[in-house]
Amino acid sequence: MAFLIHGVTAEPLDTRFANPAAYGDFLAALLALLAIAGLKGQWTIATPLVWVFNLVGSLDLLNALAQGVQFVPNGDFGAMYFIPAIIVPALLVSHGIIFLILLKGTTIEQSNG
């Protein structure tokens, strides 16, 4: 949501990038919390919740990357440069690992022990 706050970035970010990126991240975070609750509570829909979170989160990241390249000039992120430089690649790797676990059919408990 920091992309929507004026003054956090060097220049106000184009709303064609900032709005979908901010609200997509917010939706992915809510889905992640729901998936965590499902896994912790051993809900029968826990695995589908993880799939939904992972698909939405991955698509959000890929969309933000495409929109960022198209609508954010170099330097406009200012102090927020670490998000596309460090956080996004780490999140993409995390989503990839979750996809591998889901595709193998391994439960979280099995992968930890």
Residue 109 pLDDT grade (very low, low, confident, very high; cuts 50, 70, 90): low
Q: Quick check: 15 pLDDT over 80?
A: yes
Residue 105 pLDDT grade (very low, low, confident, very high; cuts 50, 70, 90): confident
pLDDT 10s digits, 23-66: 999 999 999 999 999 999 999 999 999 999 999 999 999 999 99
Distance in angstroms (rounded) separating the CA atoms of residues 61 and 33: 17
Half-sphere exposure of 42 (CA within 13 A, CB side): 1
Q: Quick check: 107 pLDDT over 70?
A: no
Domain boundaries, given as residue ranges, for the chain: 15-108
Q: What mean pLDDT is reported for the chain?
A: 89
